Amino acid sequence: MGPVPLSSQKKYSTRLRVVLGSPPIGLPTQTYEEKNKNMKIGLLHTTIRGDEKLLIEVAKKKKVHLEIIDVRDLILNPKKNPHVCTVYLERCVSTVKGIYAIRYFENLGLKVVNSSAVADICSDKFLTSLALFKNNVSTPKFAMAFDTKTAVEAIDAIGGFPVILKPAQGSWGRLLAKINLMYLNSHFEIFMQAFILQ
């Protein structure tokens, strides 16, 4: 991957400055502050970790109106949204709660970072692997199969045993297994990656 073009660097720098509450380069501070004085960011979370504490601290320093919203306390009723913000920043530890919150606010026509399209990819190991492969990011060989017979063929195609089997959705390494021989009798989707010895 080559160096990032200067035009992209400038674009990224401007976006970063806007998120942190600084005026983009070349825009007078007063104009920027007047334009964004009514901006409110909703910080969606299920627990406040170190990263969220840093975001809260920066928001206070930059005088950005930040509403801290614990998703566990929300009632996602499309007829009543008590937390109207300019943009929502989704920072939930719980994937399920985070995705439902994103879809709720998006369906009300509100902006969420990251979007449900991004969340769908990030919450599914197969979709994540496909996105990495498509963008030429180095990743272990992988395949998806839907029964034992095709799983054996897929394992051969990615280099044979041992392989790592895991559910396409889930986190914290739950149900992950290193398999040396095929013994499965599965009627569910089987996501597999080549085993890499380190």
* pLDDT(24) > 90: no
Query: CA angle, corner 8, sides to 7 and 13, nearest 5?
Result: 100
Please indicate, yes or no, if residue 87 is contained in any of the structural domains: yes
Question: How does residue 159 score in pLDDT terms, banded at 50, 70 and 90?
Answer: very high
Do 170 and 186 fall into the same domain?
A: yes
Domain end point (choices 107, 122, 137) = 122
Which structural domain range is residue 56 located in?
Answer: 38-122
Q: Are residues 104 and 171 in the same domain?
A: no
Q: The domain that contains 114 carries what CATH number?
A: 3.40.50.20
Residues 137 and 186 reside in one and the same domain: yes
- Last residue of one domain, picked from the residues 103, 122, 141: 122
pLDDT at 185: 55
Asked if residue 152 is part of any domain, the answer here is yes
Q: Specify whether 52 is located in the same domain as 102.
A: yes
Residue 140 forms part of a structural domain: yes
Q: Do 86 and 40 touch, CB atoms closer than 8 A?
A: yes
Q: Looking at the structure, do residues 48 and 104 belong to the same domain, yes or no? A: yes
Q: How many domains does the chain have?
A: 2
DSSP, residue by residue, the chain: --PPPHHHHHHHHHHHHHHTTPPPTTS-HHHHHHHHTT-EEEEEESS--HHHHHHHHHHHHTT-EEEEEEGGG---BTTB-S---SEEEE--S-HHHHHHHHHHHHHTT-EEES-HHHHHHHTBHHHHHHHHHHTT-----EEEESSHHHHHHHHHHTT-SSEEEE-SB--TTTT-EEESS------S-EEEEE----
Q: Choose the final residue of a domain: 102, 122, 142.
A: 122
Does residue 43 share a domain with residue 116? yes
Q: Other CB atoms closer than 10 Å to residue 181's CB: what's the count?
A: 7
56-94 confidence digits (pLDDT tens)? 999 999 899 999 999 999 999 999 988 899 999 999 999
61: in domain:
yes
109 is a domain residue: yes
Q: What is the pLDDT of residue 110?
A: 95
Q: Residue 36: its pLDDT value, please?
A: 67
pTM, full prediction: 0.74
Cα gap 3→6, rounded to integer Å: 9
If you search the block for the tokens 């825009």, which residue do you land on?
Answer: 27
**CATH assignment at residue 161:** 3.30.1490.20
Phi then psi dihedrals of residue 4, to 5 deg: -70, 130
- Do 118 and 47 lie in one domain? The reply is yes
**Do 110 and 185 belong together in one domain?**
no
